[in-house]
Amino acid sequence: MRETRLSPDDFIYPLFVTYGKGIRKEIPSMPGCYQESVDKIINHAREIYRLGVPSIILFGIPEHKDEKGSSAYDEHGVVQKAIKAIKNAVPELYVITDVCMCEYTSHGHCGIIKNGDVDNDLTLEILAKEALSHVRAGADMVAPSDMMDGRVKAIRSLLDTEGFESIPIMAYSAKYASSFYGPFREAAESTPQFGDRRSYQMDPANRIEALREVELDIEEGADIIMVKPALSYLDIISEVKRTFSMPVAAYNVSGEYSIVKAAGKLGWIDEKRMMMEILTSIRRAGADIILTYFAKEAAKLLNS
């Protein structure tokens, strides 16, 4: 009678790649998650694939940050190196990359700053270059997470002109300005140095706007649409799935992971049961794919 089932192949596991060698540093607010250098991330990729999780999404922590985030599209950048190394070691693992500027800019915003504010149109060109450099390095899919208007179209048209018509785009379409990203910003070292992301991310109070954002991304050529965060936005996931016949991904974000881990550590909850209940609810709401830091643990339970 069970209507909703979970399987390891529903999951995408996020990985944080950093510069240097021999580095595997646990992220304090995200127990079990690491910043890893390229040599270490390869072993991790093997482990993930062995558990039956078919896909990862890569975030980069570059050695140099500048105003324009130029290391984002450097062919020798951390993410580009990691893609090559992972595809070489575990060719079957599907590699997605997060396309955004916030990890690469010295100010930590998701775009280029002009007159004290993020300039949407200047940013588009750089995002498209970043996506192209990931695909050239071997990425199977790109996922723009910046929420600039027109970025799916800009990326799609550059990829098409360069002969990468078959590379899909997973768009972070309904991305809310959320307190649930706190631990991620520590993990990715991407906290904005001034202001916040409210000028380009959505107001948590809005529902109709999410549908408009999703519709625009579909028109621009998105293949998968994403709602983020997941837990406080199950209604949005459900509505997006019902309104558009498209594959829907949901991002079970860092804060949603950390609160379960913290309460689990204190012995206040049954961590494993809560993890499975959360993941099941995201699927039940309508998500086809879940990006989650729980992917490995949940896969282990599902495989046992």
DSSP 21-51: SS-EEEETTEEEEEEEEHHHHHHHHHHHHHT
Indicate the residue among 259 and 274 with the shorter CB distance to ligand PBG.
Answer: 259
Compose the 43-82 pattern: x for residues touching ligand PBG by CB under 6 A, - for all others: ----------------------------------------
Should residue 83 be labelled a site residue for ligand PBG when binding is judged by CB under 6 A? Answer: no
DSSP state of 58: E
Please state whether the peptide bond connecting residue 229 to the residue before it is cis, i.e. omega within 30 degrees of 0.
yes
Q: Respond yes or no: is residue 114 known to be catalytic.
A: no
Residue closer to ligand PBG (CB basis): 88 or 129:
129
- Please tell me the count of residues contacting ligand PBG according to CB under 6 A: 10
* Of 73-81, 98-106, 204-212, 275-283: span binding ligand PBG (CB under 6 A): 98-106
Residue among 68, 136, 185, 284 that touches ligand PBG (CB under 6 A): 185
Q: How many CA atoms lie within 13 A of 156 on its CB side?
A: 15
Annotation marks residue 175 as catalytic:
yes
DSSP SS3 for 198: coil
Residues 194-223 interacting with ligand PBG (rule: CB under 6 A): 197
Measured from each CB, the residue nearest to ligand PBG is 184
As a whole number of angstroms, the distance between CA 28 and CA 260 comes to 14
Question: Which candidate in 175, 241, 261, 296 is catalytic?
Answer: 175
Question: Interacting stretch for ligand PBG, rule CB under 6 A, among 5-13, 121-129, 179-187, 268-276?
Answer: 179-187
Tell the smallest beta-carbon distance from residue 254 to ligand PBG (Å). Answer: 3
Grouping H, G, I as helix, E, B as strand and the rest as coil, residue 201 is coil
In whole angstroms, what is the distance from residue 99 CA to residue 169 CA?
Answer: 10
E strand or H helix that includes residue 304: none
Among 133, 254, 258, 292, contact with ligand PBG (rule: CB under 6 A): 254
List residues bridging with 174 in a β-sheet. 227
- 100 touching ligand PBG, by CB under 6 A: yes
DSSP notation for 223-268: SEEEEESSGGGHHHHHHHHHHS-S-EEEEE-HHHHHHHHHHHHTTS
Q: Is 302 in the site for ligand PBG (CB under 6 A)?
A: no
Task: Please identify which residue in 10, 98, 140, 239 interacts with ligand PBG, judged by CB under 6 A.
Answer: 98
From the list 247, 153, 175, 173, the residue with the least C-alpha distance to 213 is 173
Site for ligand PBG, rule CB under 6 A: 98, 100, 102, 145, 181, 184-185, 197, 253-254
Q: Which residues are identified as catalytic?
A: 175, 228
